Amino acid sequence: MLEIDDLTLAYGVNRVVRGFNLSVDQGEVCALLGPNGAGKTSILRAISGLMRPLAGQINFEGKSLIRRAPDRIVLDGIAHVPEGRRIFPEMSVLDNLLVGASVHIRERTKTRELIERNYAMFPILKERARQAGGTLSGGEQQQLTIARGLMAQPRLLMVDEPTLGLAPAIINTLADTFRALKSLGLTIIVAEQNAEFALRVADNGTVISGGEVSFSGTVDALRDSERLRRAYLGA
Amino acid sequence: MTAFAQQLIYGASYGMNLAVAAAGLALIFGVYRVINLAHGQLIMLGGFVAYVVATQLGTHFFVGFFAAMIVMGLLSIVLENAVFRFLQRRPLTDQLLASLGLYMVLGTTALRIWGDFEARPIAMPGEDWALTAGEIRIDGARLVTIAITLVLFASLYFVVYRTHLGRTMRATAQGEETAALMGIKKRRVAAIVFFLGGALGGAAGAMLGALFNVRPDMGFQPLLMALVIIIFGGMGSIAGSIVAGLILGILYNLTVFYVGSKLGDLVPFLVLLAILMIRPQGLFGLPDRNA
Amino acid sequence: MTLLPAHRISLRDRRTRAVIGWLVLLAFLGILWAVVDNNYHLRLLVGAGTAMIAVIPFGLLMGHMGYLAMGQGGFVGVGAYVVGVLTVQQFEFDFWAALPCAIIITSALAYLLSYPLFRLRGYHFAIGTLAVGQLLYIMFDSWEWFTGGPHGTAGIPRPALGDYAFVTNQRFLIVVLFFLVIAAFASWWLARGHVGRALSAIRQDEDLAAARGLDVFRYKQLVFVFAAGFAGLSGALYASMQIAIDPSSFTIWSSFQYVIYVIIGGSGTLLGPAIGVVFLVVLDQFIQDFGKWNQIVLGGLIVVTVLFFRGGLWGGANLLWHFALESVGIRQIVAQALGAATRGK
Amino acid sequence: MASSFGVIRAGLLGAALCAGLVAGPQLAKAEDTFKFGGVFTLSGPASFLGLFEEAAVRLAVEQFMKGDCIVEAVPPQPCEGGGLKIGDKVIPIEWTAYDDVSEDKKSIDAVIRLVEQDEARAIWGPRMNSALLSAASILDPQGIISICAICSSPAMTVGRKYGHDITDTGVIEKHGMGEFIHETPERLAEHGIDPALFDGRKKLGFIGRNELYTVHGSIGWQEAVEKGGGRYEYQHDWAVLYPFGTTDFAPHVAKLAEQDPDIVLMDAYIFPDMLAIMNEMKKQGLNYETGEIILLGNDVLMLQIFVDVAKDQGINMSSGYVWGWQEHNPAQDEATLARVEKYVPIYNAKYGDTEVGNSSPFDRGAYDAAIWFLYGVQASGDHTDNDKIVEAWRNLKINGLRGPTNEFFTRPDTGEKTGQLFATEYIIGVADEKVFYTGISYRDELFYGPYVYGDKLPK
């Protein structure tokens, strides 16, 4: 579904990702693992069009995403939930969700259905619908960003550091959410520092360190891997 | 007491006009984070468009008024495309200076086209009647501009807070990159915001021109006052614009009347400094995220 | 303290280029002083030098520190009026006695204003200073008992040393160049070392600088007062140059003028603003031929400079120089030419 | 090697800048010409006051060079073409004018440029009031004649040997109106004005833009009232002076109305300002259409074109309560009319289609003054000696387009000749939407306001 070949990313002359390859199949949950600064976020930004690659190919369902504007990529079916829970703090929860549906806002019934589905999946958002986004708790905000990503009705959902700064109990709920999303047939890429969480929700994992892939394989293989540990400790 | 009340009314009326001028500036700043000094000349050119359409072509005031809004909206889009889009990630000095350059270019062009000696009236509804209550009078024309202002602000409020367009604008203001990830087209939002900002400038120009005649230097004082208003009301706050506009207009009038005719600008600028010291984010603003 | 350590003399080095640029500029002014006998051109030089005295230190505030002040004309006005009032009306001070007063009063005013103003940043600071400039203008215009109001103040003397009176433009230019060298040197001295690093840290990320223990406010205050003091000096010289002053020279537009000098010349350097002054003074002579369109030329120039020449004229010159050095062909041609010239000897 | 680069670069930069600075526009040095320069506001907000003036002075120089002068001098002066007839020689006149872009600073620069680069011996302008003092302090020590035809400040002439103001000052105009409001009922009746016009009127008001012209105007108004001996009340402090850029005049007019004046002098000369003030006055009970107040004004108020523009905006000036003055006698004698008829087509053919526009009393005044000055230079017999020029010019009278025998004014209190060009002021009214001459005029009654500066410029 998503094929990345030999991707190189740079800020100015500073190359943050070198020769990165990734292949994600339909319905799969793929974890990008690596320490802070490994280049995970840059890869997600490149996929969603926020960053232009220096070299390499990104194909989604056979179409190249290179030089495609972010809003077109959303329309193509990729939603990117950015790190740091970037909700729109002064807008209500409902408005946040509606902004997420920008690409098909004219189709009112569809939007309404999506909102109802989100409310069903995240009941707290329904309770807080009229509240300003900035007043939600950390876990609620993370739910909101994921729900907002789902509003675009993506086939591929990319979530950046969902567990950052969340309490363990909330992380558990989040893991349930991911399993629920997977059961709906959604393809997911989750970029995580928290390997434990990633291994719980993902099918396959790719470990990045220093901008390069250091390991790639199934979660089970990953779990036993020395390399994972080394990637973290050695970085 | 009557005199005081009368000054309150005059000040409120002038303040409403200034609020419209400031709202355009505030809107563009709120979403796009640029203070556009050329806005002063959009106000002036708006007055001239209204004059050409309403007076020279002999149409109704409102035809000229809407023409001013549309033409200035379009001109504002042109300025965004030609200049401001290249300055988005640049220091504010560059943005301010570029807009100052535009101010000079537009101002001189208008002066060359229209000269500055003639009086250019625009006939407007309500010119020949007034409400009186005892000693106090409210001119019809001023009432009309107050009504227009209220309609403009209500529409602006509706657009920004009740439509999806407004939602995308607010989203862009609160997180430009995140908004792009929602599929919002940045260029389109910029165009709309600049159109609305320019149109509000044009509307302010048409109203000021109709009340007090159109002239090439008519953009300067409203621009200064609008700068004060957007700081006072909170940068980028629309509700702040109208409240601050009212307060500023009233303060200006009371200063002239009670302190001295030469000192009209004194109290507004003193108040501005005081506000900046006590509450830099303004009456309604959140702390400035950009600076 | 040397301007340039020997090992650093290289044309690829920014500092070498800046020193050469300064020497050229000062030599240029000196040569003009000696060769120009047209009084009008001398007067333009005096005006340019006077403006530079205010602009170079102002460049530290605006370029190095990244704080846009839009009320500098007000400080220049304070300096001018202090000299105007002290030398003319009741007091009849000597110019040399009034000059330090102008500097001290302007600096003191800036010192007091720095407390409220530096609670602000970015646009807020810009508009706060704009308000200060406008309030000062209103003061010049309405305190008739002190400033003469719209009448202004006339008969301000030009300075003298003993019997040598700096009355002609050529003589007055000596005074201006003297203070210009002081302004430039003081700015250079301030911009090097820890103050320069602090300013650059403030420009890049003020919060980070503060978090790392930098006393951000003190540095900002220092530069603000420094710039205002030289603005006062510049105003004092301006008053003496003009003989008569009135409020219209210290409006918002005069404040904008200083900002324009810095940007056109190249902000973030000391030489850039000075070049901006020279360029605009010369340009002004030429665009007078555009008659009524000259404001359009100037406005357009500002827009184009901001859009395309981010370092202003000085930045552009450096860029050209860089390309010239990097381009092998040109280097060879120059080297051959120089070789031929040396052999010729 | 490295330092060679520096030298080359230094040389190139220096040469380029030198070339730039020195190659500024320069005039060829011709030995025997009379160099005459001008500073006018040709662009910017006040350009309407400069365009026609520059046009008229330039026309005067051209006519002088052609030998086709329209104004006559007493005693007669030759106007033979080719320039000034000095002794046996004919000295060409070299005219250079600069635009001050409505900026005081620029106008000073232009004055210096004229003096120091163009070596002008006489300078027309600047008009900008606040630039006058600076200009005076530059010109006077060098003995350069300075002339202004629509200046407003005694600073142009008081205590200045070479300064000449031609008729129009903020102070002196107010003396004209001051004379008018003190007229006896008999004299009013004699000229067809309601004798009760000023009955029961006591308090005077004043409104104008905050600038030197108006400040002086207000001072002159107070002087005129004091001269009248207590019939009216006015204090300079009462003046309502609105700042530049004022858009909404309501609070300023309200302040004026608060003083409850019986007579208001509006000292403004910019149409949009005047119209806004007049509209607002009507609304706020200072109604000059019904006789609530009497509105007095300057020559701009009394332009037919203004009366027409005001009518378009619903203002009726024909009520008999609006009065002003002009220097230009609307009921001219035949000789003057013949000159006007000759002059106007020439002026209109030259400027009518340009932004300068057709002839008005203003350019006629400037033309008069310019021709008069050139006759003065010629009469001196030595165009290089400004003392002689001033002496000769001051003893010359002209029969101009504005009226016969203009001359320099003598202060009644000291008998000393000042640089004020004397021209009679004519009281004008409006009836049936047309301005008309009342037949009342003032001449010796006008005198300088010595109270502004005393006898010298402020030191």
All partners of chain A with 3 or more CB pairs under 8 angstroms: B
**Which of D1, D12, D21 is best to mutate for the C interface (most C CBs within 10 A)?**
D21
Note the pLDDT tens digit of each residue in D264-290.
Answer: 999 988 888 999 999 999 989 899 999
Query: Is D14's CB within 8 Å of C24's CB?
Result: yes
Nearest residue of A to residue B171, measured between CA atoms: A88
| pLDDT for position A105 | 87
Domain match, D223 and D344 both: no
Note the pLDDT tens digit of each residue in B188-226.
Answer: 999 999 999 999 999 999 999 999 889 888 899 899 999
**Which of B89, B168, B178 is best to mutate for the A interface (most A CBs within 10 A)?**
B178
D1 within domain boundaries: no
In this model, does residue D25 exceed pLDDT 60? no
Q: For chain B, say whether A84 makes contact (Cβ under 8 Å).
A: no
What average pLDDT does this structure show over C219-247? Answer: 92
Contact list, C59 vs chain B (CB under 8 Å)? none
| pLDDT for position D152 | 66
State how far the alpha carbon of B33 is from the alpha carbons of B23, B40, B90, B194, C191, in Å.
Answer: 14, 17, 11, 12, 30
- Give the residue, D362 or D58, on which the prediction is more confident: D58
Of the candidates A75, A90, A148, the beta carbon closest to that of B174 is on A90
In this model, does residue B50 exceed pLDDT 60? yes
Domain match, D434 and D410 both: no
**Which of C118, C123, C206, C262 is best to mutate for the B interface (most B CBs within 10 A)?**
C123
What average pLDDT does this structure show over D373-385? Answer: 92
pTM above 0.90, yes or no: no
Structural contact between residues C246 and C89, judged by C-beta atoms closer than 8 angstroms: no
What average pLDDT does this structure show over D129-146? Answer: 81
| pLDDT for position D418 | 76
All partners of chain B with 3 or more CB pairs under 8 angstroms: A, C, D
Q: Residues of chain A with pLDDT > 70: what percent?
A: 96
The neighbouring-strand residues paired with D294 are D263
D18 within domain boundaries: no
Picking from A222-231, C153-162, C196-205, which range would have the lowest pLDDT averaged per residue? A222-231
**Which of D105, D128, D138, D456 is best to mutate for the C interface (most C CBs within 10 A)?**
D105
Note the pLDDT tens digit of each residue in B230-257.
Answer: 888 877 788 888 999 999 999 999 999 9
**Chain C (110-169) residues lying within 8 Å, Cβ to Cβ, of chain D:** 141, 148-155, 169
Alpha-carbon A216 to chain mean position: 18
Nearest residue of D to residue B110, measured between CA atoms: D44
Structure tokens at D182: 């003190």
Domain match, D92 and D232 both: no
Q: For chain C, say whether B37 makes contact (Cβ under 8 Å).
A: no
Picking from B210-214, C145-149, C202-206, which range would have the lowest pLDDT averaged per residue? C145-149
∠ CA A200-A206-A211, rounded to 5°: 135
**Helix pair angle (C216-242, C72-87), 10° resolution:** 50
State how far the alpha carbon of B52 is from the alpha carbons of B20, B40, D442, in Å.
Answer: 21, 19, 44
Give the CB-side neighbour count of residue B263, counting CA atoms within 13 A. 16
Q: For chain B, say whether C150 makes contact (Cβ under 8 Å).
A: no
| pLDDT for position D27 | 40
| pLDDT for position D99 | 86
Nearest residue of D to residue B253, measured between CA atoms: D251
Domain match, D308 and D239 both: yes
Of the candidates B29, B97, B108, the beta carbon closest to that of C293 is on B108
Query: Is C130's CB within 8 Å of B100's CB?
Result: no
Whose tokens are 């306001």? That residue is D449
Q: Residues of chain B with pLDDT > 70: what percent?
A: 96
Whose tokens are 């004519």? That residue is D426
Contact list, C153 vs chain D (CB under 8 Å)? 458
CATH code at D317?
3.40.50.2300
Alpha-carbon D387 to chain mean position: 24
C142 within domain boundaries: yes
In this model, does residue C341 exceed pLDDT 60? no
Which residue, among D254, D263, D271, D309, has the nearest Cα to D288 in the 3D structure? Answer: D263
Query: Is A102's CB within 8 Å of B183's CB?
Result: yes
Of the pLDDT bands very low, low, confident and very high (cuts 50, 70, 90), residue B285 is low
Burial B266-286 (b: 16+ CB within 10 A, else e): bbbbebbbebbeeebbbbbbe
| pLDDT for position C290 | 62
Mean pLDDT of chain B: 89
In this model, does residue D8 exceed pLDDT 50? no
Of the pLDDT bands very low, low, confident and very high (cuts 50, 70, 90), residue D330 is confident
C319 within domain boundaries: no
- Give the residue, B10 or B94, on which the prediction is more confident: B10
Separation of alpha carbons C245 and B76, rounded Å: 39
Note the pLDDT tens digit of each residue in B250-260.
Answer: 999 999 999 88
Nearest residue of C to residue D135, measured between CA atoms: C244
| pLDDT for position C320 | 78
Q: What order do you get walking across the sheet with D322-326 strand by strand?
A: D240-242, D204-209, D263-267, D294-297, D322-326, D425-431, D434-442
Query: Is C124's CB within 8 Å of B262's CB?
Result: no
Q: For chain C, say whether B226 makes contact (Cβ under 8 Å).
A: no
| pLDDT for position C298 | 86
| pLDDT for position D187 | 94
Separation of alpha carbons D227 and D219, rounded Å: 12
C278 within domain boundaries: no
For residue D5, give how far its alpha carbon lies from the nearest alpha carbon of chain C (Å): 8
Query: Is A71's CB within 8 Å of B174's CB?
Result: no
Domain match, D378 and D250 both: no
Contact list, B234 vs chain C (CB under 8 Å)? none
Contact list, C288 vs chain D (CB under 8 Å)? 25, 98-99
Note the pLDDT tens digit of each residue in D157-167.
Answer: 767 788 888 76
Q: For chain B, say whether A99 makes contact (Cβ under 8 Å).
A: yes
C65 within domain boundaries: yes
Query: How many other CB atoms sit within 10 Å of the CB of residue B150?
Result: 12
Mean pLDDT of chain A: 88
Q: For chain A, say whether B181 makes contact (Cβ under 8 Å).
A: yes
Of the pLDDT bands very low, low, confident and very high (cuts 50, 70, 90), residue B265 is confident
Q: What is the tally of structural domains in chain C?
A: 1
Of the candidates A69, A74, A90, the beta carbon closest to that of B182 is on A74
Domain match, D417 and D436 both: no
C114 within domain boundaries: yes
Of the candidates B167, B174, B179, the beta carbon closest to that of A89 is on B174
Domain match, D416 and D380 both: yes
| pLDDT for position A213 | 85
Contact list, D155 vs chain C (CB under 8 Å)? 151
Q: For chain D, say whether C90 makes contact (Cβ under 8 Å).
A: no
Note the pLDDT tens digit of each residue in A28-72.
Answer: 999 998 888 788 899 999 999 998 898 899 999 988 998 888 989
For residue B186, give how far its alpha carbon lies from the nearest alpha carbon of chain A (Å): 9
Return the number of CB contacts < 8 Å for A and B.
Answer: 62
- Residues spanned by the domain of C116: 36-250
Picking from A149-153, A224-228, D49-53, which range would have the lowest pLDDT averaged per residue? A224-228
| pLDDT for position D459 | 35
Residues 6+ apart with CB under 8 A from B285: B233, B234, B235, B236, B237, B240
- Give the residue, D278 or D408, on which the prediction is more confident: D278
D6 within domain boundaries: no
Nearest residue of D to residue B107, measured between CA atoms: D44
Of the pLDDT bands very low, low, confident and very high (cuts 50, 70, 90), residue A234 is very low
Return the number of CB contacts < 8 Å for B and D.
Answer: 97
The domain locations on chain B are 16-219
Is the backbone of residue B36 left (phi > 0), alpha (psi -120 to 50) or beta? Answer: beta
Of the candidates B96, B269, B288, the beta carbon closest to that of C124 is on B288
| pLDDT for position D352 | 86
C318 within domain boundaries: no
Structural contact between residues B21 and B207, judged by C-beta atoms closer than 8 angstroms: no
Q: What is the tally of structural domains in chain D?
A: 2
D15 within domain boundaries: no
Query: Is B115's CB within 8 Å of D45's CB?
Result: no
| pLDDT for position D84 | 92
All partners of chain C with 3 or more CB pairs under 8 angstroms: B, D
- Give the residue, C88 or D200, on which the prediction is more confident: D200
For residue D210, give how far its alpha carbon lies from the nearest alpha carbon of chain C (Å): 8
All partners of chain D with 3 or more CB pairs under 8 angstroms: B, C
Note the pLDDT tens digit of each residue in C39-59.
Answer: 788 888 899 999 999 999 999
Contact list, C123 vs chain B (CB under 8 Å)? 29, 35, 92, 96, 231, 235, 288, 290-291
Mean pLDDT of chain C: 84
Nearest residue of C to residue D458, measured between CA atoms: C154
Note the pLDDT tens digit of each residue in A132-177.
Answer: 998 998 889 999 999 999 999 999 999 998 888 888 888 998 899 9
Domain match, D63 and D150 both: yes
For chains D and C, having 3+ Cβ pairs within 8 Å is answered yes
Query: Is D210's CB within 8 Å of C150's CB?
Result: yes
- Residues spanned by the domain of D355: 32-168+331-423
Where do runs of H (alpha helix) occur along chain A?
A: 40-47, 70-76, 93-100, 108-121, 123-127, 138-150, 168-183, 195-201, 219-224, 226-234
Of the candidates D47, D251, D271, the beta carbon closest to that of B119 is on D271
